[in-house]
């Protein structure tokens, strides 16, 4: 047993570039059928082939030959007959003659039927391609349908294909140059509801064209908030003065999901599971999709898809979706993020005329990043580094390790370091409110947190500066802060940075800004268990109150934050993604319990976010109540928690 992808609004797309022989339809059809078998064996919903793949793109004046035209129709008929027992949409390119005019067309085939003939609109006529010599534009069509094998088939550049049993599974087709035009056909198709755009292409290679092509497709996928699949003609198409590579690509909302090798002598195929929920969620937030003026009038074609179950995903689901994939991308992102944080803080300091900041330095990762960002802001402003006050406030749970790391880091940066213990003042406070100091309840913990904030605020007033907040996005989501304590500051530089990304930023800073000896301090801070240190240490003097043992792993919380809040995934979809992403790290029980904790705390703690401090927005996920996240403080989580309670493992079914 397994699960059905469409139940989770996932469509499996195969993009292929087969070995072909120019004008040898029989051979070409045999290769297409071979790939259909391979893609179906992988459970694909759609398989896309290149432009004019039935005949080959480079036939030239042979396109005028009646024999080749008839062979092409025979080839379509053969694939049509072959597809009768195959639950897969097949899209192939071929030349179609209509009333003495030839069109660069494609056939959308499903279970022995042709759903439609999408036709190419923009025909190149340059030094490389002379399509206007052979073909007519879709704009020249005088009919919306044609008769083929006694069936009436919709034709044009305005065909929208909709799945009856999953409305999100909606696609449109454009052909090669239709994308390269000033106004791509896919733009209208997307605005008319197509979540998936399929492009049959024959794009020859030139030096630098690969990257240009990728950027064009990436940009169109992002602009149209669509899944964009692209199949280009293979090396076997190469002839005379041109070489082709078989470049196949799949993008999702501007992100590359799959890419083929190029210049292979073998059949090429890539397969990826594409997420329709991500697309529809992006469009819900994009006002562009409300403006549908001056669009081509669509022809809607319906189909019903009855899929079989699968046990796997052809999709890379990162355990750390907030962190870029490659080392180069991480380096670029980290430099940009810290620059954004420092610039935002600098702007605030300039606005209020302050040249002093106060930070509670705990030896933990959040305060470490805030301190590094403040340091960068002061360098940008040419302010005296002594205007940064790092205040260490050891309490009942502070360990020597964290206190020493906070002091050592402050000394490396040459900032003003102050040690202000809070034990005595907190004990006095316990007396004032008649609280038993031996009861390590929430009062015991929060009194220390509020005492620290009190000191920071007053010291900021003393030096005419501001308190820089340290609370990160993960803590804001979970409400893991003491109200009116670390919950509040005068400006929060970490408000849009999740816990997993903070670790990456500090590691990058250590390796790129510190010398070998100094970076060991940052490495030790990264290696220290995450803790508020509000409860006494253990007998060995080590941290006993570990946050992740209480809340669950931040890896999971940040994962749920990204997919659950950023893309609005439902509970069942979140669990599916988490199981596949973490199957070698966490068991299903851990995933389920952490998911429950996440939603329970996320709902319960909106009241803290509703009155949160200003903080710079960095990524696409932000919980600022002034812009990105509007939620009632008294929303009820019961329905969500019930769904989580009823979850069953999908992988182990």
Catalytic residue, chosen from 51, 88, 131, 177, is 51
Confidence (pTM) = 0.94
Q: How far apart are CA 12 and CA 311, in angstroms?
A: 13
Average pLDDT of span 473-486: 97
**Catalytic member of 59, 176, 248, 274:** 176
Q: Is the pLDDT of residue 385 over 60?
A: yes
123-152 residue pLDDT tens: 998 777 789 999 999 999 999 999 999 999
User: What is the structure's pLDDT at 294?
Assistant: 74
If you average pLDDT over residues 637-644, what whole number do you get?
Answer: 97
Reply yes or no on domain 11-303 having CATH 3.60.110.10: yes
Count of other CB atoms within 10 angstroms of residue 424: 8
Q: How are beta strands 145-148 and 151-156 bridged, if at all? A: antiparallel
Please indicate whether residue 120 is annotated as part of the active site. Answer: yes
For 557-589, what is each residue's pLDDT tens digit?
A: 999 999 999 999 999 999 999 999 999 999 999
Domain over 327-645 is classified CATH 3.50.50.60: no
In this structure, what token pair is assigned to residue 452?
A: 């620290």
Share of the chain above pLDDT 70, in %: 100
Say if CB 108 and CB 66 are below 8 A apart: no
Indicate if the pLDDT at residue 509 is higher than 90: yes
Q: Delimit the domains of the chain by residue range.
A: 11-303, 327-645
pLDDT in tens, 328-356: 999 999 999 999 999 999 999 999 999 99
Segment among 165-174, 209-218, 281-290, 490-499 with least mean pLDDT: 281-290
Catalytic, out of 111, 120, 499, 573? 120
Q: Is 475 part of the annotated catalytic residue set?
A: no
The two domains 11-303 and 327-645 share their CATH topology (first three levels equal) = no
Position 184 pLDDT exceeds 80: yes
User: For residue 503, what is the enclosing H or E element?
Assistant: helix 499-513
Q: Active-site residue 248, yes or no?
A: no
- State yes or no: pLDDT of 653 exceeds 70: no
Regarding predicted confidence, which is higher, 441 or 295? 441
Instruction: From 221, 219, 232, 367, select the one nearest 282 (Cα to Cα).
Output: 221
* pLDDT above 90: residue 384: yes
Confidence of residue 269 (pLDDT cuts 50, 70, 90): very high
Rounded Cα gap, residues 400 and 391, in angstroms:
15
């Amino acid at each position: 047993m397994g699960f059905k992808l469409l139940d989770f609004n996932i469509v499996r797309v195969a993009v292929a570039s087969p070995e072909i022989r120019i004008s040898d339809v029989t051979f070409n059809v045999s290769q297409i059928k071979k790939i259909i078998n391979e893609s179906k064996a992988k459970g694909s919903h759609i398989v896309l082939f290149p432009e004019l793949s039935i005949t080959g793109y480079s036939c030239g004046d042979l396109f005028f030959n009646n024999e080749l035209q008839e062979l092409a129709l025979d080839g379509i008929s053969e694939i049509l007959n072959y597809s009768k027992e195959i639950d897969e949409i097949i899209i192939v390119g071929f030349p179609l003659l209509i009333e003495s005019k030839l069109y660069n067309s494609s056939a959308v085939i499903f279970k022995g039927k042709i759903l439609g003939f999408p036709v190419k609109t923009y025909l190149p006529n340059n030094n490389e391609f002379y399509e206007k010599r052979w073909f007519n534009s879709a704009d020249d069509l005088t009919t919306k349908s044609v008769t083929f094998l006694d069936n009436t088939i919709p034709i044009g550049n305005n065909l929208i294909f909709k799945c009856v049993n999953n409305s999100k599974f909606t696609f449109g087709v454009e052909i090669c140059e239709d994308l390269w035009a000033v106004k791509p056909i896919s733009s209208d198709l997307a605005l008319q509801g197509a979540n998936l755009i399929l492009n049959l292409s024959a794009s020859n290679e030139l030096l630098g064209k690969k990257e240009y092509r990728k950027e064009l497709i990436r940009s169109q996928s992002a602009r149209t908030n669509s899944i964009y699949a692209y199949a280009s003609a293979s090396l076997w198409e190469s002839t005379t003065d041109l070489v082709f590579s078989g470049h196949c690509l799949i993008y999702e909302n501007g992100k590359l999901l799959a890419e083929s090798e190029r210049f292979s002598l073998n059949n090429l195929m890539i397969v990826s599971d594409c997420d329709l929920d991500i697309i529809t969620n992006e469009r819900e937030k994009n006002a562009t999709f409300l403006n549908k003026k001056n669009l081509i009038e669509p022809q809607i074609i319906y189909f019903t898809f009855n899929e079989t179950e699968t046990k796997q995903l052809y999709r890379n689901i990162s355990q750390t979706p907030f962190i870029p994939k490659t080392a180069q991308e991480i380096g670029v992102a980290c430099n940009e993020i810290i620059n954004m944080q420092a610039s935002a803080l600098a702007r605030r300091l300039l606005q209020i005329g302050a040249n002093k900041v106060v930070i509670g330095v705990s030896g933990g990762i959040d305060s470490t990043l805030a301190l590094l960002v403040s340091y960068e802001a002061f360098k940008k402003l040419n302010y005296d580094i002594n205007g940064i006050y790092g205040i260490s406030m050891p309490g009942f749970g502070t360990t020597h390790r964290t206190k020493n790391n906070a002091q050592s880091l402050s000394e490396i940066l040459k900032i003003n370091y102050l040690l202000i213990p809070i034990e005595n003042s907190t004990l006095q406070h316990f007396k004032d409110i008649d609280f038993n100091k031996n009861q390590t309840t929430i009062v015991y913990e929060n009194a220390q947190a509020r005492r620290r904030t009190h000191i920071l605020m007053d010291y900021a007033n003393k030096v005419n500066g501001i308190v820089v907040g340290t609370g990160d996005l993960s803590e804001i989501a979970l409400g893991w802060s003491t109200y009116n304590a670390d919950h509040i500051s005068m400006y929060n530089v970490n408000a849009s940075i999740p816990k997993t990304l903070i670790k990456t930023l500090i590691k990058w800073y250590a390796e790129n800004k510190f010398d070998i000896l100094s970076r060991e301090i940052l490495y030790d801070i990264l290696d220290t268990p995450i803790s508020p240190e509000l409860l006494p240490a253990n007998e060995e003097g080590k941290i006993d109150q570990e946050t992740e043992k209480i809340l669950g792993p931040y890896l999971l919380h940040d994962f749920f934050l990204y997919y659950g809040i950023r893309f609005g995934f439902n509970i069942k979809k979140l669990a599916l993604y988490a199981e596949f992403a973490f199957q070698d790290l966490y068991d299903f029980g851990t995933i389920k319990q952490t998911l429950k904790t996440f939603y329970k705390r996320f709902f319960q703690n909106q009241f803290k976010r509703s009155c949160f401090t200003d903080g710079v927005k960095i990524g696409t996920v932000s919980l600022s109540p002034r812009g990105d996240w509007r939620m009632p403080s008294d929303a009820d989580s019961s329905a969500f928690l019930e769904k989580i309670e009823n979850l069953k493992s999908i992988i182990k079914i």
